[in-house]
Amino acid sequence: MVKTYVSERSLRMVGKAWQIRAILRAYAGSDTTLHQFLSVNCHASSRRE
């Protein structure tokens, strides 16, 4: 199981290397940039708190 920590300026994944590679490959298939991903997910996580 991969744990993902998203902050305003960083994305941290903790897990097995093959799991992280698979997730990064899935992210690479989308048209979203890292900046867009972080801004959307950082704001979404702050709304949940």
Q: What are 5-28's pLDDT values in tens digits? A: 888 888 899 999 999 999 988 888
42 pLDDT tier (thresholds 50, 70, 90): confident
The answer, as to whether pTM is greater than 0.95, is: no
Place of tokens 């799991």: 19
Q: Smallest Cα–Cα separation from 8: which of 22, 49, 44?
A: 44
Enclosing domain of residue 34: 3-48
| Total of domains in the chain | 1
